[in-house]
Structure 1
Amino acid sequence: MARRRILAGGISQESHSFTPVRTGRESFTITAGADALAKARGTNSTLGGIIAAADTVGAEVIVPTLFRAQSGGPVEEGVFEEVLGLMCDAARRGDFDAIALPLHGGMLTPSRHDPEGVLIAALRGIVGPEVPITAAFDLHAHVTPGILGDCDLLAGYLTNPHADQGATGERAGRAALAMLEGHLKPVLAHAHLPMLTLGRDRTDEPPLIGLHARAAAAVASGAVADASIFNAQQFLDVPGLGQVVMAYGNGEAEAARALVQELAEALWAARAETIIQYPGLEETLARATPGRTLILGDQGDRVAAGAPGDSTVILHALLERGNGLPAILPLTDPDAVAACRAAGIGATLTLSVGGRISTMMPPVTLTGEVIAAAEGAAFTYAGPAEAGQRALIGPYAVLRVGPLHLALTAFPYSYLDPGYFRAMGLEPADHAVVVVRSGYHFTLNFAALGECVTVDTPGLSSYRVAEMPFTVARPFYPVDDIAFTPEAKIQPRRTFQG
């Protein structure tokens, strides 16, 4: 039998509807071909998982292009059009047997609320109904009817904070190969719930830990072939925003339908339990002491959720305390970076920083010494999340203001791994307070350094969603009082027979 070939690639980014800054091409790490395979193989990434599935059976993976970026504002139309064109050109060549896509599922462009669905539909239109198409999505994806109709199997992360990116890609890759061999005939059952989870949506805590355990048991027993629970990103102003529970049967879907119905009813019943109030900033900072590291997730300005990363809320609080504790605080401020680089390392200068897009608190004017400045840096995630994945930092500078180190960058970063700071010459373990632009995903990779606490701060990514200018996503719980009864539906199976 000829060697199987899998077409992979695409574009992966999580968007925030209410962030005014668009995500341009310069924000993406772009790979293709042998370079993409070499950089992803063996990593805890969705493409790495697809490659691992292919390697197990001696299959080949083809990557026409892969664009990957941090969360941010909607992706510029031209960037998506470029990726769409490259992927469709590759699909038209037809030198492959199946498609497995390492995507996110929560991306927007200014004119499209479901670009991943547009990509999958375009590929389906080219290859027809008999070529398997699978995809690996982030747990926070916005899963649309279009995606479910054109994708043969959609695998979502099963962990939050995310630690199973590679395993999710492997599920998608294995499913595509199993369809080719006739071992898998996926039939989908799914349910949509018009609700948001706001804070208590970790999969290692109630209520989701129990739901995932029930889904995992059904997969392990063979009752269903695969199951995912999607908790949509909370800042997408898109039609049909909410949770999606789904499971695939093999050839039939009654067991999958029963599982989805059970899980959807349980999730809707537990909707109030998924809302949390994080501890306050002042009370948390009061616990900071020399000799141990307190890592603070800035809930209101989470670049990991698409916020701009320039909030000065925590910076104001640190300066007002004036307790002399060594701290690291990152800020997105391209003008400040340019000024530091122009002045040079060792220069002392006065700057107004932050607060340009996140306006809850004003910019801060301070005087400090430039101790690092460069065009960019690179590092490799230590993990466990994204372990082995290479990351790039654009233009940056470090300004030392007494015991405070400001990590200034031209582009926003979430700082999910200590490697971000180390690449700029800062050791988090040497500081009493370290601020990251993440809610809780950072806890996996920072756990060994100290206590990780998410603090309730105002901003574009706070969970005060009633204050957000939603126009098309509503109604949804908890903003709206909805009378709703979950209903599992079976998706008609396409004609592919393996």
Structure 2
Amino acid sequence: MSKRRILAGGIAQESHSFNPVLTNRVRFNIQSGLDAIASARGTNSLLGGILDAAGQADVEVLVPTLFRAQSGGPVEDAVFTEMRDIMCNAAKRGDFDAIVLPLHGGMLTPTLEDPEGELMASLRAIVGPDLPITVAFDLHAHVTCRILETCDLLVGYLTNPHGDQGNTGRRACQAAFDILDRRLRPVLSAVHVPMLTLGHDRTDEEPLMGLHARARAAVASGLAYDVSIFNAQQFLDVHGLGNWVLAYGNGKDAGRDSLALELAQSLWDQRCALIGTYPSLDECLDRAERGTERPLILGDQGDRVAGGGPGDSTYVLGALLARPGLPASVVPLTDPVSVAACHAAGKGAQVTLDVGGRFSTVAPPITVSGKVLGLGTEAHVTYDGPADAGYKSKIGAFAVLEIGKVHVLLTDQPYSYLDPDYFRAMGVNPAEMRVIITRSGYHFTLNFAAMGECITVDTPGMTSYRVDELPFTVARPFFPLDEPNFVPVLVDHPSRRD
């Protein structure tokens, strides 16, 4: 019997409808074939998990291409088309037994609300109705009926902050094997909940912790094969925005239907508790001035590149510069014009620049004067983990500007700084700083926990959870902007293997 093969790859990016800066090809880490496999093997990533599961089953993995970028504005159509054509051309060769896609969900292009669904539908049209297609998503994905109708099984992360990327890839891969071996005939119980979770949605805290415990118990008891609870990305102005509960099992089962309905009703009942509050930036900086036992790692909630923001808000930088009594601090800022000016001036030069605020209009540009400490055209990052441990990324052109005790990391592209190695890659040791700013809300907390006290701060901007300040039109109605008359119902769609 010939060795089994699976096709894996695709595109992973989370888009923000209200970020006017399109995500271009330069923003993507693009790998294929043996390079993609070597880079992902042994990492806590979706593809890493797929490779682990395939290796244990002695199954070969083919990766025509994998495009991966940090969050940002919608992806240029040409980038999506390039990736889709590569994947579809590989699918036309037909030299594989299943497709397992390590995606993200929640991506947009200027012309597509559901590019993941478009990719999956294109692949399904090529391979026909019988070949298994399973998919792994971030739990903040935008789930659509088209996605559910096209794939055999969709799994999402079970942790937030995300620490189970590898295990999610393994779940998706194992499901494909179970379908091939006729151990699984997946039938889905799905419920859509027209609400957003806004900040109080860690899975290691209530109320989500209890919901995930019930889902795990259902899988452990055999009531369900897999259960995912999707808490949608909050900045997508798309049709059908909201949370989803997906419970898969073998064949129809009234008990699993009841489970999905119960979990969805519990989400809705606790919708107010899922809206979080945060300390102010001033509170945290007051503490830093007084002195803290451990460094403070602060997530700039209003301009989170991890949430799709542009990363050029000067709100935090202005607050740091206004407090000369603060200890050593570091703050990142996206500003390609200032990066170019620093490169033109040279290392060691004194420069005066208008930095940031080109897209984050709540915090306009700030005029600063400082010394150029470091320059580079490219730097390489390897995640410490545990989230995405071992994942390799790179930074484009950058400059390090010293303004008193404030170090400003200027980059020509936005980055979320989810891992300490972003700072080290640009020559700044975060362990020597007492205040460290990340462009993330809480995903940074896993990888920075060993270094200091991690705090999300309430700052203004397009990624703040003040969703009433954003011009939603298509996505409404949803809670908390509206109070839909919600009663959980099973979504009626054709089950792929019913």
Q: Which runs of 5+ in 1 are unaligned?
A: none
Q: Indicate the residue corresponding to 1:275 in structure 2.
A: 275
Corresponding residue of 1:447 = 449
How many residue pairs match? The answer is 496
2-side partners of 1:290 and 1:141: how far apart? 37
Instruction: Name 1:437's counterpart in structure 2.
Output: 439
CA separation in 2, counterparts of 1:358 and 1:332? 11
Q: Secondary structure at the match of 1:262?
A: helix
| Residue in 2 that maps onto 1:77 | 77
* 2:465 pairs with 1:463: yes
SS at match of 2:351: strand
Q: Which position in structure 2 is the counterpart of 1:189?
A: 189
The residue type equivalent to 1:384 in the other structure is P
Give the drift of 1:284: 1.5
Match of 2:365 among 363, 366, 379: 363
**CA deviation digits over 1:271-317, x for unaligned, max 9?**
01000121111112101126631011000000000000000001111
Most deviating of 279-288 and 435-444: 279-288
Tell me which residue corresponds to 1:345: 347
Mapped contact 1:137–1:154 kept (Cα < 8 A)? yes
Contact 2:76–2:110 (8 Å) recurs in 1: yes
Secondary structure in structure 2 of the residue aligned to 1:143: coil
Matches within 5 A, 1:78-477: 78-288=78-288, 289=291, 292-477=294-479
Instruction: In structure 1, give the amino acid aligned to 2:153.
Output: L
* Secondary structure of 2:322 counterpart: helix
| Shift, 1:222, TM fit | 1.3
Instruction: Tell me the secondary structure at the aligned position of residue 26 of structure 1.
Output: helix
Give 1:134's aligned amino acid: T
Assess if the C-alpha contact under 8 Å between 2:50 and 2:170 holds in 1.
yes
Counterpart Cα distance in 2 of 1:179 and 1:399: 55
Counterparts in 2 of 1:224 and 1:490: CA distance versus 1, 3 Å: farther
| Equivalent AA in structure 2 for residue 217 of structure 1 | A
Q: 1:220 to 1:292 in 2, by over 3 A?
A: same
Distance (Å, rounded) in 2 between the aligned partners of 1:259 and 1:362:
49
Instruction: Answer yes or no: is the 8 Å Cα contact 2:155–2:226 preserved in 1.
Output: yes
Shift of 1:491: 4.3
1:102 CA drift (Å):
0.4
Query: 3-state DSSP class of the match of 1:233?
Result: coil
Task: Quickly say closer, same or farther: Cα 1:419–1:475, change in 2 above 3 A.
Answer: same
Distance 1:253 1:304 in 2: 38
Distance 1:305 1:413, change over 3 A: same
CA contact (8 A) 2:18 2:462 kept: yes
For structure 2, the residue ranges without an aligned partner over 5 or more in a row are none
User: 1:68 and 2:68 equivalent?
Assistant: yes
Whether the 8 Å CA contact 2:226–2:249 is kept in 1: the answer is yes
TM-score, with length taken from structure 1: 0.98
2:285–2:326 Cα contact (<8 Å) kept:
no
**Deviation for aligned residue 1:456:** 0.5
CA distance in 2, matches of 1:360, 1:323: 25
Q: Is the 8 A contact 1:189 1:490 kept in 2?
A: no
Deviation per residue, 1:353-395 (Å, 9 max, x gap):
1111001122111111111101010021010000010011111
1:45-56 matched pairs, under 5 angstroms = 45-56=45-56
* Residue identity in the other structure for 1:74: P
8 Å Cα contact 1:129/1:495 also seen in 2: no
Q: How far apart are residue 493 of structure 1 and its match?
A: 2.7
Q: Secondary structure at the match of 1:287?
A: helix
CA–CA separation in structure 2 for the residues paired with 1:90 and 1:44: 26
The one-letter code of the counterpart of 1:118 is E
**What's the CA shift for 1:495?**
4.8
Contact 1:237/1:473 (8 A) holds in 2: yes
Separation in structure 2 between the aligned mates of residue 292 and residue 57 of structure 1, nearest angstrom: 45
Shift of 1:258: 1.5
Q: What is the CA-CA distance between 1:490 and the residue it aligns to?
A: 5.9
Cα-to-partner distance string for 1:311-346 (whole Å, 9 max, x where unaligned): 000111111122142100000000111111121111
Amino acid at match of 2:122: A
Task: Provide the secondary structure at the position in 1 that maps to 2:298.
Answer: strand
Deviation at 1:219?
0.7
Match in the other structure for 2:13: 13
User: Aligned to 1:107, what secondary structure does the other structure show?
Assistant: coil
